[in-house]
Amino acid sequence: MSAVLFESQYHPPIAFFAALLGADALWLETHDHYRKQTYRNRCLILTAQGVQPLSVPVIDGNRSEKVLTSEIEIDYRQNWVHRHWRTLQTAYSGTPYFEYYADYLHDIYTQKPRRLFELNQLLLQFYFRCLRLRLPIHLTPDYQPPTHLPSAPPTLLLDRRDWLTPKAAHQPDRTSGRAYAQSFGKDFVPGLSILDLLFMQGPAAGSFLA
């Protein structure tokens, strides 16, 4: 058996899901310290102006190194939900499958989960359904540094914590999956959120992960 260990991510990049192909389980890290400027609270989408990040504001972000990712709270004092949704509509309303998925995504946002980890969990479960990924999702019971992780049978655990970062989004070794038609530009832009692939390919999106 094999499993992949990732940190919680907001609208994860395509490579996140590509890394799960062939795995028997996904483990999510729940005991890491929250880190700013990572996929924990941001994603990358493609707009008419190029690649644009969307970031979820969090409470006490300045002292985030002392807060567990699973405990960090979303700052709803900022009208970020409206901004994110309007940006997604502007970028993707003309794509083949935006309307197909829009209501499901909007319903997740309107739930307004208190913690970032909870929001990411809702989104992850939604993407698993869309991509027909049926592997179980487990939460880590404690934190283990990479050198202490099990690497021998019966379970081979592949540590992918912080393997994907926005700063390295366009490096070839961090962008799995096949190229597909995109809304803007002539050249394919890798490293984007799964949203981009889903809105363009719909139910066929899973076939572009390999």
Separation of alpha carbons 74 and 104, rounded Å: 20
Range of the domain at 65: 2-208
**pLDDT, tens only, 148-202:** 665 555 568 899 999 999 987 655 455 567 899 999 988 999 999 999 999 999 9
182 three-state secondary structure: coil
Cα dihedral: 177, 182, 184, 187 (round 10): 50
Contacts of 60 (CB under 8 A, 6+ apart): 67, 72, 73
Output the pLDDT for position 169.
60
Which residue is listed with tokens 């929250």?
A: 34
Question: Which range in 86-90, 138-142, 157-161 is most confidently predicted, on average pLDDT?
Answer: 86-90
Banded model confidence at residue 47, pLDDT cuts 50, 70, 90: very high
Average model confidence (pLDDT) across the chain: 90
Number of structural domains, the chain? Answer: 1
- Does residue 20 contact residue 4 with C-beta atoms inside 8 Å? yes
159 three-state secondary structure: strand
Separation of alpha carbons 184 and 47, rounded Å: 7
State the number of CA atoms in the 13 A half-sphere of 143 facing the CB.
Answer: 11
Residue-by-residue DSSP string for 6-60 = EE--SS-BHHHHHTTTT-SEEEEE-SSBP-SSSTTSEEEEEETTEEEEEE--BTT
Output the pLDDT for position 73.
95
Cα dihedral: 192, 196, 202, 207 (round 10): -20
